[in-house]
Amino acid sequence: SQKIEQNSEALNIQEGKTATLTCNYTNYSPAYLQWYRQDPGRGPVFLLLIRENEKEKRKERLKVTFDTTLKQSLFHITASQPADSATYLCAQSLGGSYIPTFGRGTSLIVHP
């Protein structure tokens, strides 16, 4: 069955550094990958979507890459700030389906 996996260990980085989060999938290449931010006790908020035929997408300090060879998406936050501390969820949508499957999320902690 199709799975989507994110590192369960929290990522701790120093303010100003680039944070890189990983999302791996098995078997079939998703048509779309999405990234969401979730703060404690709140609903996720959409950040970026990348299509299968796109290698990279950017939005302000955020960058997402999609490598179908490695079956992986990387999510980068440059010049990270303590306010970026949150859990980041990856979600995949297979071709023909608008319903995403979410990963467990990776917690990011940015230290001042």
Partner 1 sequence: DGGITQSPKYLFRKEGQNVTLSCEQNLNHDAMYWYRQDPGQGLRLIYYSQIVNDFQKGDIAEGYSVSREKKESFPLTVTSAQKNPTAFYLCASSGQREYEQFFGPGTRLTVL
Q: Is 42 in the site for partner 1 (CB under 8 A)?
A: yes
66 in contact with partner 1 (CB under 8 A): no
Among residues 60, 61, 59, 57, which one has the least CA distance to residue 74?
Answer: 57
Specify whether the CB–CB gap between 58 and 50 falls below 8 A.
Answer: no
CA 53, 55, 47, 91 torsion-angle sign: positive
What is the nearest approach in angstroms of partner 1 to the Cβ of residue 72? 17
Name the token pair of 69.
């060879």
44 forms part of the interface with partner 1 (CB under 8 A) = yes
Task: Based on the shown chain and the rule CB under 8 A, indicate whether residue 85 belongs to the binding site for partner 1.
Answer: no
19 forms part of the interface with partner 1 (CB under 8 A): no
CA distances from 6 to 2, 12, 47, 102 (A): 14, 15, 17, 10
98 part of the interface to partner 1, by CB under 8 A = yes
Q: Candidates 9-17, 45-53, 60-68, 75-83: pick the segment binding partner 1 (CB under 8 A).
A: 45-53
Instruction: Give the three-state DSSP class for 84.
Output: helix
Binding site for partner 1 (CB under 8 A): 4, 8, 32, 34, 41-46, 49, 89, 93, 98-105
